[in-house]
Amino acid sequence: MSARENILARIREKSGRNGVTSAPELAAVRAHIAEHACGPLPSISRHDPVTHFIAECARLKSTTAELDDIAALPAEVARYIAANALRMRCVGWHEFAALNWQSAGIQFDDRPANGDDLIGLTGSFCGIGETGTLLLLGAPATPKATALLPETHICVVKKSRILATMEDSFALMRNEIGEPPRATFFVSGPSRTADIEQTLVIGAHGPYRVHVILIP
């Protein structure tokens, strides 16, 4: 008996089950996993996910802005950059490359971010109202480095894709893309840690500014 088999046998023995796992038991476990049964969910975020999302973003120290049209995105990015006294330059996902960045006075680089880039612009798969969280899915056209490497992360999310709970986001992934990609990551405000003497440090493992722009 291998070490793994020995551990599993001891667990089964302590659970009042002897012998190896039977075929019906395995089938029952696989059926449960495939069913994606959902546990109890909070009700507060379901009343108005967008309003709750904005409130949670504020609690997490993410700033937000709302636009009526995606065409206004360069102007809003320029306003945010100027308000924070940053350079008028950002790197971003390809889906935003066709916007008129020149008119806003911004140099937009259509490529993944590297260690020298200070502002990264990304889209998102969806937002989660319960926690003010953004869900991003990594792919060649949506590199995660652009969200993680720069000091400032500007993220665009459609209000129509702000869901009530994290469970809703998992259901949306299953419905739209099946299995999630290898790089699936959640952004809940600026990066922070309090590991050392419980002193809060912003920007410990990623951006220390997160600006969320909501579009229709």
Q: What is the pLDDT of residue 94?
A: 97
**Residue among 124, 130, 166, 148 nearest 54 (CA):** 130
Structure tokens given for 52:
């709750």
Residue 163 identity: L
State residue 173 phi and psi, 5-degree precision.
-60, -45
Report whether 166 contacts 172 (CB < 8 A): no
Rounded distance, CA 208 to CA 190, Å? Answer: 5
Report whether 102 contacts 75 (CB < 8 A): no
Q: How far is CA 180 from each of CA 124, 137, 142, 148, 171, rounded to the nearest angstrom? A: 14, 8, 14, 19, 11
* Ordered per-residue pLDDT tens for the chain, 216 residues: 788 888 888 888 888 887 778 888 889 988 988 888 888 888 776 789 999 999 999 999 999 999 999 999 999 999 999 999 999 999 999 999 999 999 999 999 999 999 899 999 999 999 999 999 999 999 999 999 999 999 999 999 999 999 999 999 999 999 999 988 889 999 999 988 877 777 777 777 789 899 999 999
Q: Which residues pair with 1 in a beta bridge?
A: none
Rounded distance, CA 187 to CA 132, Å? Answer: 9
Q: What is the pLDDT of residue 45?
A: 65
pTM metric for this prediction = 0.86
* Count, residues in the chain: 216
Task: Decide: helix, strand or coil at residue 30.
Answer: helix
